[in-house]
């Protein structure tokens, strides 16, 4: 009797881990003082003290003319791929979280794929504004665990300077440009432990760019519009809820968190979240002073800064969380 052939293993990956991180900021750095002088020429009054007191931001980076989101994304991606010890050709999934894509279509992810010389793998954009990177991590984790990918490139990249109204003091001082990236890899050891995502479209008007393109013209308003107080009140509540949700899903507590890496929008929101989780600010990665609010890029930017500065180390438990227009919010708990 002929023995049956040994079946091939169909076991799916148990976990997803961050294999490498990377980031890129544009060369042009704009201080609060420099921005205040520029705005004064438009009749808009602000100052370094006013901005720092309300936001914690001291400087931000703006791209040069002609630089687009994919340019920043590629730089961050190359750093992450190098840190992961792999080659671009090893990537079999690309997700770019962005609200400022290069084109209406194709996706910025496909443009990144072309610039990196990768052929054939799925590539798509994800739009959840400042929560985009958390959303993208969750999607990539699910695809890796399902066996659809084994090594994913997840990027947050933004050129918000292109959609800022420099006559609006309430928004133009807040945002900057930049990109951050991670390589996620299938693993037999725990990495991403739990995720929690939400959206509430009733709050669309709190933070939006209420414009579109039709017939070769911009319809509506092409600039960022924000109800700052409304965003603050909603953010501090939902971020605590998402944090507690991922801790519960993972069977962990606040005491297990080594580092909180929140969306870098406003120091007051970060301080409030840390207090609610009974975390000292010495356990919070804060980079908002250096690059402002870079939307979907802010969490991976802060993560890469923390890793490369030696604060975040292998084995640390990280809580990543973001909140943004939509209204969207979410959190990821992971062992780095």
Predicted pLDDT at 10: 62
Residue 282: half-sphere exposure toward Cβ, Cα within 13 Å = 0
Name the nearest CA neighbour of 261 among 157, 334, 177: 334
Contact, 89 vs 118, CB < 8 A?
Answer: yes
Angle formed by the axes of helices 298-308 and 132-145, nearest 10°: 80
The domain 15-187 having CATH identifier 3.40.47.10: the answer here is yes
Q: Is the pLDDT of residue 11 over 90?
A: no
Among 32, 110, 130, 291, which one carries the catalytic annotation?
Answer: 130
Of 10-14, 51-55, 260-264, 313-317, which gets the smallest average pLDDT? Answer: 10-14
Among 61, 263, 266, 291, which one carries the catalytic annotation?
Answer: 263
Tell me the Cα Rg of the chain.
Answer: 20
Q: Is 130 among the catalytic positions?
A: yes
Q: What's the average model confidence in pLDDT over 269-286? A: 97
Q: pLDDT class for 82, splitting at 50, 70, 90?
A: very high
Q: Is the pLDDT of residue 3 over 60?
A: no
Q: Is the pLDDT of residue 41 over 50?
A: yes
Q: What's the average model confidence in pLDDT over 87-111? A: 98
Predicted pLDDT at 6: 41
Name the nearest CA neighbour of 128 among 322, 332, 334: 322
Q: Is the pLDDT of residue 1 over 70?
A: no
Q: Is the pLDDT of residue 158 over 80?
A: yes
pLDDT digits (tens, 9 = 90+) for 216-230: 999 999 999 999 999
Kindly provide the residue ranges of all beta strands, DSSP E only, lying in 137-205, ordered along the sequence: 151-159, 177-187, 192-199
User: How, if at all, do strands 217-220 and 192-199 pair?
Assistant: unpaired
Q: What percent of the chain has pLDDT over 70?
A: 97
Helix, strand or coil, per DSSP, at residue 122: coil
The CA-atom distances, in angstroms, between 14 and each of 17, 141, 188, 191, 192 are 10, 10, 6, 9, 10
Fold of 192-335: Peroxisomal Thiolase; Chain A, domain 1 (3.40.47)
pLDDT digits (tens, 9 = 90+) for 56-77: 999 999 999 999 999 999 999 9
Tell me the backbone φ, ψ of residue 31, rounded to 5 degrees.
-75, 165
Q: What's the average model confidence in pLDDT over 123-140? A: 98
Q: What's the average model confidence in pLDDT over 257-275? A: 97
What would the 3-class secondary structure string for 46-63 be?
A: CCHHHHHHHHCCCEEEEC
Q: Is the pLDDT of residue 128 over 90?
A: yes
Q: What percent of the chain has pLDDT over 90?
A: 96
Q: Domain residues of the chain, as ranges?
A: 15-187, 192-335
Quote the pTM value.
Answer: 0.96
Q: Is the pLDDT of residue 21 over 70?
A: yes
Q: Is the pLDDT of residue 157 over 90?
A: yes
| 174: its two tokens | 């807040």
Please state, rounded to an integer, the average pLDDT across all residues of the chain: 96
pLDDT digits (tens, 9 = 90+) for 174-211: 999 999 999 999 999 999 999 999 999 999 999 999 99
Predicted pLDDT at 96: 99
**DSSP classification of residue 314:** T
Name the nearest CA neighbour of 157 among 185, 136, 184: 136
Decide if 15-187 and 192-335 have a common fold. yes
Q: Is the pLDDT of residue 2 over 90?
A: no
Name the nearest CA neighbour of 279 among 287, 288, 270: 270
Of 1-15, 50-64, 242-256, which gets the smallest average pLDDT? Answer: 1-15
């Amino acid at each position: 009797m002929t023995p049956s052939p040994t079946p091939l293993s169909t076991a799916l990956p148990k976990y997803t881990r961050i294999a490498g991180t990377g980031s890129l900021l544009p060369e042009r750095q704009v201080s609060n003082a420099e921005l205040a002088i520029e705005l004064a020429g438009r009749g808009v009054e602000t100052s370094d003290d006013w901005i720092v007191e309300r936001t914690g931001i001291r400087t931000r980076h703006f791209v040069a003319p002609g630089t687009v989101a994919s340019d920043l994304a590629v730089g961050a991606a190359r750093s992450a791929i190098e840190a992961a010890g792999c080659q671009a050709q090893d990537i079999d999934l690309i997700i770019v979280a962005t609200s400022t894509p290069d084109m209406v279509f194709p996706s910025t992810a496909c443009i990144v794929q072309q610039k990196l010389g990768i052929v054939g793998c799925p590539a798509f954009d994800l739009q959840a504004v400042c929560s985009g990177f958390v959303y993208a991590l969750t999607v990539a984790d699910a695809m890796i665990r399902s066996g659809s990918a084994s090594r994913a490139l997840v990027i947050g990249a933004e050129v918000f300077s292109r959609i800022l109204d420099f006559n609006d003091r309430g928004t133009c001082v807040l945002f900057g440009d930049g990109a951050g990236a991670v390589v996620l890899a299938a693993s037999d050891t725990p990495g991403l432990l739990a995720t929690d995502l939400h959206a509430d479209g009733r709050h669309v008007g709190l933070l939006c760019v209420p414009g579109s393109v039709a017939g070769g013209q911009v319809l509506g308003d092409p600039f960022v519009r924000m109800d700052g107080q409304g965003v603050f009140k909603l953010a501090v509540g939902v971020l605590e809820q998402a944090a507690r949700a991922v801790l519960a899903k993972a069977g962990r507590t606040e005491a297990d968190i080594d580092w909180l890496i929140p969306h870098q929008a406003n120091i007051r929101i970060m301080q409030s979240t840390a207090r609610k989780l009974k975390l000292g600010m010495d356990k919070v990665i804060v980079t908002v002073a250096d690059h402002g609010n870079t939307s979907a890029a802010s969490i991976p930017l802060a993560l890469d800064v923390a890793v490369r500065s030696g604060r975040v180390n292998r084995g640390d438990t990280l809580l990543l969380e973001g909140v943004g227009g939509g209204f969207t919010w979410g959190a990821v708990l992971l062992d780095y």
